[in-house]
A and B are shown apart, each in its own frame.
Chain A
Amino acid sequence: MSDNQIDSYKRRFLGQSAAIAGAATLGGGLVLTSVARARPADQAASSANRWGLLIDTSKCASDCDECVKACEMEHGWGRGSTDEQHSRPEQKAQWMRKVTVRDRATGHETSLPMMCQHCAYPPCVDVCPTGASMKRDDGIVLVDKHRCIGCRYCMMACPYKARSFIHEDLHDQKTESPRGKGTVESCNLCVNRVDRGENPACADACPEKAILFGDLKDANSDIARRLASEPSTEIRGDLRLDLGVRYQNI
C-alpha cells in the first residue's frame, strides 16, 4: 500500500470521526469549526473562510519573543537557519518582529508582534506586476515565488514593512517553506499548517495565549465571537485596508 493510499484512508477516517464528534456535540459550535478547518487536500482554499489573528497586547511581555522564535524555526529564517551569513543585519529577512510602541505624550509603552497583516485590499498585491504577490481566496496574503522577479515594488507599497528580500543564496530551507535568493517573502500565516487544519506556529507558541487564530467569517468561531464582543483595532486603520490581523489594548 502506497503512502498516498494510507494518507487518503487516514484523512477519510479522521473526517468521519470528526463528523461523528461534531454531530455528538452539535450546538457546541467549537467542534464544527474544527471540522470546517480540516479541509481535504484536494479542495481549494475557499472564500467562505477568512483566516485571521487577534492579538491581545496586554498579555504580550516586552522581553518575550517566543512567537518570533517559533516563526523562525517553522520557516527556517533567522535563528531557524544557518543561511544569510553574508547579509548585513538590515539585509536579513524578518518575517515577524517584536515592536515597542511608545506614546510621545505619556511615555506609555506597548509591546506587540508585527508581521503581514493579511489585508483584504493588500497594496502589495495591487502593485505586483506579475501577480506573484497574491491573496488566496481564504484571505491569506503570500508571495508565489515562482512568479516573483524580485522588483521589490511590494516592499515599497507595504505600510507594515512586512516583506523581506533575499540578498544571497540559501541552502538551509525547510521542506514546507521554500525560500530563495532574488525573491521577496513574508509571513504567510503558516499556510502550510493552516491547510492541515493547524494553527500558525506563533499562535501555538505564545505562552500567554495572546495570539488567537481563527476564521473571521465563521460567526461561531472564537475569534469572531471575541471580535464581536470586545474592542479591537487595526494598525493604520486609516488606510482602510481591512486587515486580517487585529490587536487589543494598544
Chain B
Amino acid sequence: MSQHVVSPKIYFAVFASLMLLTALTVWAAFQDLGPFNLAVALGIATLKATLVVLYFMHVRYNPKLIWLVIGLAVAWFGVFLVVTLSDYLSRGWIPFPGK
C-alpha cells in the first residue's frame, strides 16, 4: 500500500453529503413511513458510515487486507446479532407442558 493522499475537495464533498444525509434522517423520522421508519433510519446511517469508512478513513484506497478486517467486524457483529435474536425471537414458538 503506497500512501494515497486524498484531496481536500473529496473531504469537503463527503462532509456535505454527510450533512445532507443528517438532515434527511431527521426529516424522515418525522414522516409516518409505517414499518419503514427504522429501515430508512438504519439505511441512511449505514450509508453515512460507509462514506466515512471509504473516504475519511481512506479504505477505498487501502489493500484488500483492510477490507477483509472490516468485513470480519461486520460479519462477527452479524453473528452476534443473529444468534442472540434467534433465541429471543423464537421464544414461545414451541409450547412446553405446564407453561
The answer to whether A and B assemble together is no
